[in-house]
Amino acid sequence: MTPVATPFFFYLLAATMIIGGLLVITSKNAVHSALALITALLAQAMIYLMLYAPFVAGVQIILYAGGIMVLFLFVIMLINLERTQKERQFNKQWLVGLAAAGALGFLFVSIYLKGKRLFPAGNASYPETQNTQAIANLLFDRRGGTYMFPFEIASLLLLVAIIGAVVMAKKRI
Amino acid sequence: MFLLGVIGVLTRRNVVIILMSIELILNAVNLNLVAFSRMWGGLHGQVFAIFIITDAAAEAAVGLGILIAFFRNKETVNVDEVNLLKW
Protein backbone atom coordinates (compact mmCIF):
# COMPACT_ATOMS: atom_id res chain seq x y z
CA MET A 1 0.00 0.00 0.00
CA THR A 2 1.86 3.03 -1.18
CA PRO A 3 1.12 6.17 0.77
CA VAL A 4 -0.45 8.74 -1.46
CA ALA A 5 -0.06 11.93 0.53
CA THR A 6 3.68 11.69 1.14
CA PRO A 7 4.86 14.48 -1.18
CA PHE A 8 2.21 16.81 0.22
CA PHE A 9 3.35 16.28 3.79
CA PHE A 10 6.98 16.56 2.85
CA TYR A 11 6.47 19.89 1.12
CA LEU A 12 4.36 21.15 3.99
CA LEU A 13 6.99 20.25 6.58
CA ALA A 14 9.85 21.53 4.45
CA ALA A 15 8.05 24.86 3.96
CA THR A 16 7.45 25.07 7.72
CA MET A 17 11.12 24.49 8.39
CA ILE A 18 12.26 27.08 5.87
CA ILE A 19 9.80 29.71 7.04
CA GLY A 20 10.84 29.01 10.63
CA GLY A 21 14.47 29.46 9.68
CA LEU A 22 13.73 32.73 7.92
CA LEU A 23 11.86 33.99 10.95
CA VAL A 24 14.79 33.04 13.20
CA ILE A 25 17.23 35.18 11.32
CA THR A 26 15.02 38.15 10.57
CA SER A 27 12.89 38.93 13.59
CA LYS A 28 13.60 41.80 15.94
CA ASN A 29 12.39 40.13 19.07
CA ALA A 30 14.63 37.35 20.38
CA VAL A 31 11.69 35.47 21.84
CA HIS A 32 10.08 35.38 18.40
CA SER A 33 13.29 33.90 17.04
CA ALA A 34 13.32 31.21 19.71
CA LEU A 35 9.71 30.25 19.04
CA ALA A 36 10.34 30.11 15.30
CA LEU A 37 13.29 27.82 15.96
CA ILE A 38 11.08 25.55 18.07
CA THR A 39 8.59 25.22 15.20
CA ALA A 40 11.44 24.47 12.79
CA LEU A 41 12.74 21.76 15.12
CA LEU A 42 9.30 20.19 15.49
CA ALA A 43 8.82 20.17 11.71
CA GLN A 44 12.20 18.51 11.40
CA ALA A 45 11.17 15.84 13.90
CA MET A 46 8.14 15.11 11.70
CA ILE A 47 10.42 14.76 8.68
CA TYR A 48 12.52 12.32 10.68
CA LEU A 49 9.36 10.28 11.26
CA MET A 50 8.71 10.27 7.53
CA LEU A 51 12.27 9.05 7.01
CA TYR A 52 11.67 5.97 9.17
CA ALA A 53 13.79 7.24 12.06
CA PRO A 54 11.45 7.36 15.04
CA PHE A 55 14.20 7.19 17.65
CA VAL A 56 16.04 10.20 16.29
CA ALA A 57 12.72 12.06 16.10
CA GLY A 58 12.02 11.32 19.75
CA VAL A 59 15.54 12.32 20.79
CA GLN A 60 15.20 15.55 18.86
CA ILE A 61 11.90 16.49 20.44
CA ILE A 62 13.01 15.69 23.95
CA LEU A 63 16.56 17.01 23.83
CA TYR A 64 16.53 19.75 21.25
CA ALA A 65 13.08 21.29 21.36
CA GLY A 66 12.51 20.42 24.99
CA GLY A 67 15.95 21.03 26.46
CA ILE A 68 18.13 23.31 24.41
CA MET A 69 15.39 25.72 23.42
CA VAL A 70 14.16 25.95 26.99
CA LEU A 71 17.74 26.84 27.94
CA PHE A 72 17.76 29.53 25.27
CA LEU A 73 14.47 30.94 26.53
CA PHE A 74 15.78 31.05 30.09
CA VAL A 75 18.84 33.00 29.01
CA ILE A 76 16.74 35.39 26.91
CA MET A 77 14.64 35.96 29.97
CA LEU A 78 17.67 36.61 32.16
CA ILE A 79 19.34 39.14 29.90
CA ASN A 80 17.32 42.22 29.34
CA LEU A 81 16.69 42.59 25.64
CA GLU A 82 14.27 45.47 25.51
CA ARG A 83 16.85 48.06 24.65
CA THR A 84 18.30 46.08 21.78
CA GLN A 85 15.01 45.98 19.93
CA LYS A 86 15.31 49.65 19.09
CA GLU A 87 18.82 49.38 17.74
CA ARG A 88 19.94 48.22 14.37
CA GLN A 89 19.51 44.51 13.95
CA PHE A 90 21.86 43.71 11.14
CA ASN A 91 25.58 44.05 10.86
CA LYS A 92 27.52 46.69 9.04
CA GLN A 93 28.80 43.99 6.72
CA TRP A 94 25.51 42.33 5.93
CA LEU A 95 25.98 42.66 2.20
CA VAL A 96 29.29 40.80 2.26
CA GLY A 97 27.70 38.18 4.46
CA LEU A 98 24.85 37.67 2.00
CA ALA A 99 27.29 37.49 -0.90
CA ALA A 100 29.39 34.87 0.90
CA ALA A 101 26.30 32.82 1.70
CA GLY A 102 25.19 33.09 -1.92
CA ALA A 103 28.56 31.82 -3.11
CA LEU A 104 28.35 28.92 -0.67
CA GLY A 105 24.85 28.10 -1.91
CA PHE A 106 26.02 28.16 -5.49
CA LEU A 107 28.81 25.76 -4.52
CA PHE A 108 26.34 23.37 -2.88
CA VAL A 109 23.98 23.39 -5.84
CA SER A 110 26.77 22.81 -8.34
CA ILE A 111 28.21 19.93 -6.28
CA TYR A 112 24.78 18.33 -6.09
CA LEU A 113 24.13 18.66 -9.81
CA LYS A 114 27.51 17.36 -10.84
CA GLY A 115 27.70 14.51 -8.37
CA LYS A 116 24.25 13.02 -8.75
CA ARG A 117 25.48 10.19 -10.93
CA LEU A 118 28.32 9.13 -8.68
CA PHE A 119 26.39 7.59 -5.84
CA PRO A 120 24.43 4.33 -5.94
CA ALA A 121 20.67 4.59 -5.98
CA GLY A 122 20.28 2.80 -2.70
CA ASN A 123 17.86 0.32 -1.28
CA ALA A 124 15.83 1.58 1.60
CA SER A 125 13.77 -0.98 3.34
CA TYR A 126 14.11 -1.88 6.96
CA PRO A 127 11.28 -2.19 9.42
CA GLU A 128 10.70 0.65 11.76
CA THR A 129 9.35 -1.40 14.59
CA GLN A 130 12.85 -2.58 15.38
CA ASN A 131 14.50 0.78 15.01
CA THR A 132 15.33 1.45 18.64
CA GLN A 133 16.56 -2.10 19.05
CA ALA A 134 18.81 -1.79 16.03
CA ILE A 135 20.29 1.50 17.21
CA ALA A 136 20.87 -0.04 20.61
CA ASN A 137 22.68 -2.90 18.90
CA LEU A 138 25.00 -0.48 17.22
CA LEU A 139 25.66 1.40 20.41
CA PHE A 140 25.61 -1.12 23.18
CA ASP A 141 26.46 -4.55 21.85
CA ARG A 142 27.92 -6.92 24.38
CA ARG A 143 31.23 -7.29 22.68
CA GLY A 144 31.45 -3.53 22.22
CA GLY A 145 29.24 -2.22 19.47
CA THR A 146 30.60 0.03 16.79
CA TYR A 147 29.78 3.19 18.66
CA MET A 148 30.68 2.34 22.23
CA PHE A 149 33.82 4.43 22.26
CA PRO A 150 32.17 7.62 20.92
CA PHE A 151 29.43 7.08 23.46
CA GLU A 152 31.86 7.20 26.37
CA ILE A 153 33.66 10.17 24.83
CA ALA A 154 30.32 11.96 24.54
CA SER A 155 29.71 11.49 28.24
CA LEU A 156 33.16 12.96 28.94
CA LEU A 157 32.32 15.87 26.66
CA LEU A 158 29.13 16.53 28.57
CA LEU A 159 31.07 16.53 31.83
CA VAL A 160 33.53 19.07 30.47
CA ALA A 161 30.66 21.20 29.16
CA ILE A 162 28.94 21.18 32.54
CA ILE A 163 32.11 22.27 34.32
CA GLY A 164 32.79 24.92 31.70
CA ALA A 165 29.28 26.36 31.85
CA VAL A 166 29.30 26.54 35.64
CA VAL A 167 32.72 28.22 35.70
CA MET A 168 31.69 30.70 33.02
CA ALA A 169 28.57 31.79 34.82
CA LYS A 170 29.91 32.10 38.34
CA LYS A 171 30.30 35.51 39.89
CA ARG A 172 33.45 34.77 41.83
CA ILE A 173 35.69 31.87 40.88
CA MET B 1 18.60 25.43 6.01
CA PHE B 2 22.36 25.50 6.13
CA LEU B 3 22.43 28.70 4.13
CA LEU B 4 19.85 30.31 6.39
CA GLY B 5 21.99 29.50 9.39
CA VAL B 6 25.10 30.86 7.72
CA ILE B 7 23.33 34.10 6.80
CA GLY B 8 22.11 34.41 10.37
CA VAL B 9 25.58 33.92 11.80
CA LEU B 10 27.17 36.38 9.43
CA THR B 11 24.70 39.26 9.54
CA ARG B 12 23.09 39.58 12.95
CA ARG B 13 24.46 41.65 15.81
CA ASN B 14 22.64 39.99 18.65
CA VAL B 15 24.66 37.17 20.14
CA VAL B 16 21.66 35.06 21.11
CA ILE B 17 20.42 35.00 17.53
CA ILE B 18 23.88 34.06 16.30
CA LEU B 19 23.81 31.07 18.63
CA MET B 20 20.39 30.08 17.36
CA SER B 21 21.63 30.26 13.79
CA ILE B 22 24.42 27.87 14.72
CA GLU B 23 21.74 25.48 15.94
CA LEU B 24 20.03 25.83 12.54
CA ILE B 25 23.25 24.83 10.81
CA LEU B 26 23.61 21.75 13.01
CA ASN B 27 20.04 20.75 12.33
CA ALA B 28 20.51 20.99 8.60
CA VAL B 29 23.48 18.63 8.82
CA ASN B 30 21.44 16.22 10.92
CA LEU B 31 18.66 16.17 8.35
CA ASN B 32 21.17 15.36 5.65
CA LEU B 33 22.63 12.51 7.69
CA VAL B 34 19.31 10.89 8.46
CA ALA B 35 18.10 11.21 4.88
CA PHE B 36 21.16 9.50 3.50
CA SER B 37 20.96 6.84 6.15
CA ARG B 38 17.48 6.10 4.87
CA MET B 39 18.58 6.03 1.27
CA TRP B 40 21.50 3.65 1.63
CA GLY B 41 20.36 1.38 4.43
CA GLY B 42 22.31 0.98 7.64
CA LEU B 43 21.69 2.98 10.75
CA HIS B 44 25.07 4.65 11.10
CA GLY B 45 23.72 7.99 9.94
CA GLN B 46 21.07 8.00 12.62
CA VAL B 47 23.50 7.13 15.40
CA PHE B 48 25.81 9.89 14.27
CA ALA B 49 22.85 12.29 14.22
CA ILE B 50 22.10 11.39 17.84
CA PHE B 51 25.69 12.16 18.76
CA ILE B 52 25.47 15.49 16.99
CA ILE B 53 22.34 16.40 18.95
CA THR B 54 24.15 15.60 22.21
CA ASP B 55 27.11 17.65 21.11
CA ALA B 56 24.88 20.60 20.18
CA ALA B 57 23.38 20.56 23.66
CA ALA B 58 26.82 20.76 25.28
CA GLU B 59 27.94 23.54 22.97
CA ALA B 60 24.76 25.55 23.50
CA ALA B 61 25.23 25.32 27.26
CA VAL B 62 28.81 26.55 27.14
CA GLY B 63 27.97 29.28 24.62
CA LEU B 64 25.15 30.58 26.76
CA GLY B 65 27.42 30.54 29.81
CA ILE B 66 29.92 32.68 27.93
CA LEU B 67 27.08 34.97 26.90
CA ILE B 68 25.95 35.43 30.47
CA ALA B 69 29.48 36.26 31.62
CA PHE B 70 29.84 38.70 28.72
CA PHE B 71 26.54 40.39 29.48
CA ARG B 72 27.45 40.77 33.11
CA ASN B 73 30.47 42.83 32.16
CA LYS B 74 29.20 45.00 29.39
CA GLU B 75 25.41 45.10 29.73
CA THR B 76 24.91 44.64 26.01
CA VAL B 77 24.56 41.72 23.63
CA ASN B 78 25.97 43.16 20.46
CA VAL B 79 28.93 41.40 18.97
CA ASP B 80 30.28 44.71 17.77
CA GLU B 81 31.12 45.58 21.35
CA VAL B 82 33.45 42.60 21.75
CA ASN B 83 36.55 44.61 21.01
CA LEU B 84 38.74 44.15 24.08
CA LEU B 85 41.31 42.25 22.03
CA LYS B 86 41.45 44.72 19.16
CA TRP B 87 44.52 46.80 18.71
Spell out the domain ranges in chain B: 2-78
Q: Is A66's Cβ below 8 Å from some Cβ in B?
A: no
CATH topology for B2-78 is Helix Hairpins (1.10.287)
* Predicted pLDDT of residue A51: 79
- Alpha carbon distance A3, A99 (integer Å): 41
DSSP string, A44-62: HHHHHHHTT-HHHHHHIII
* Predicted pLDDT of residue A117: 65
Q: Show pLDDT as tens, one digit a residue, over chain A (173 residues).
A: 445 567 788 888 888 888 888 888 877 778 888 888 899 899 888 888 887 788 888 888 998 888 888 988 888 887 766 655 555 566 666 777 778 888 888 888 888 777 766 666 555 555 555 666 666 666 666 555 667 788 888 889 999 988 888 887 777 66
Give a yes or no: residue A150 inside a domain: yes
- Alpha carbon distance A167, A161 (integer Å): 10
Give a yes or no: residue A17 inside a domain: yes
Enter the pTM of the model. Answer: 0.79
Say how many domains are in chain A: 2
- Alpha carbon distance A59, A48 (integer Å): 11
Give a yes or no: residue A111 inside a domain: no
pLDDT digits (tens, 9 = 90+) for B60-75: 888 888 888 777 777 6
* Predicted pLDDT of residue A173: 60
- Which has the closest alpha carbon to A121: B33, B41, B17, B84? B41
Q: Which chain A residues in 106-145 lie under 8 Å from chain B, judged by CB atoms?
A: 108, 120, 122-126, 131, 134-135, 138-139
Residue A68 belongs to domain spanning: 1-85
Do residue A8 and residue A79 come from a single domain?
A: yes
> First-to-last CA distance in chain A?
63
Number of H-type helices and E-type strands within chain B = 3, 0
Test the B interface: residue of A25, A41, A112, A148 with most B CBs within 10 Å: A25
- Is the pLDDT at B46 greater than 60? The verdict is yes
Q: Is A50's Cβ below 8 Å from some Cβ in B?
A: no
- Alpha carbon distance B85, B87 (integer Å): 6
Shortest CA gap A74–chain B (Å) = 10
* Predicted pLDDT of residue B80: 62
Complex ipTM, two decimals? 0.78
Burial of A154 (0-12, 13-18, 19+ CB in 10 A): middle
Contact A126, A138 (CB under 8 A): no
Q: For B12, phi and psi rounded to 5 degrees? A: -95, 150
Give a yes or no: residue A115 inside a domain: no
Amino acid at B40: W
